[in-house]
Structure 1
Amino acid sequence: MAWLSGNIGTILVGLLVCGLVVLAVGKLIRDRRRGKSSCGCSCSQCPNSGICRREPPEKSNDP
């Protein structure tokens, strides 16, 4: 119990940092599922737009 009371500040800061990391990762996952870009810029102006977000190939109606 003495160790816990002596390190309570470090434990609280560690829990706070872990909580913030969990929130950040959760936001990245939600944004990814919604199709939002993580870079925050316009894909039309991005030099990596060809490799970043690939559109599915169009289906042709040819028999």
Structure 2
Amino acid sequence: MIVQWFTENLGTILISLGLLLLVAAAVSVLWWDKKRGRKSCGGNCGACGACQGCHGAKSPGK
């Protein structure tokens, strides 16, 4: 009974495990980059919507 269920769902199980491994790899890379002090942004501040949050607002006249 369990073997039959396993063989019927083998494709779903394998694809789910593959997706889980991809997500775990992505989270691992992000975690290691943060631990090493690397930034996750691309460095193009002109195109960034959160630029003021990273670098702070500049006062006019300075």
Give the share of equivalent positions with the same residue, in percent.
40
Tell me the SS of whatever aligns to 1:24.
Answer: helix
**Which ranges in structure 2 are unaligned for 5 or more consecutive residues?**
57-62
* Cα displacement (A) at 1:3: 0.6
Question: Measured at CA, do residues 11 and 51 of structure 1 come closer, stay the same or move farther in structure 2, by a change above 3 Å?
Answer: same
Larger helix share, 1 or 2: 2
- Please report the TM-score for the alignment, with normalisation by the length of structure 2: 0.67
**Which ranges in structure 1 are unaligned for 5 or more consecutive residues?**
55-63
| Aligned partner (choices 12, 15, 20) of residue 14 of structure 2 | 12
- Please report the TM-score for the alignment, with normalisation by the length of structure 1: 0.66
Off by >6 Å, runs of 4+ in structure 1: none
- The alignment yields a C-alpha RMSD, in angstroms, of 2.2
Distance in 2, matches of 1:53 and 1:23, equals 30
Equivalent pairs, count: 53
| Aligned partner (choices 52, 55, 58) of residue 54 of structure 2 | 52
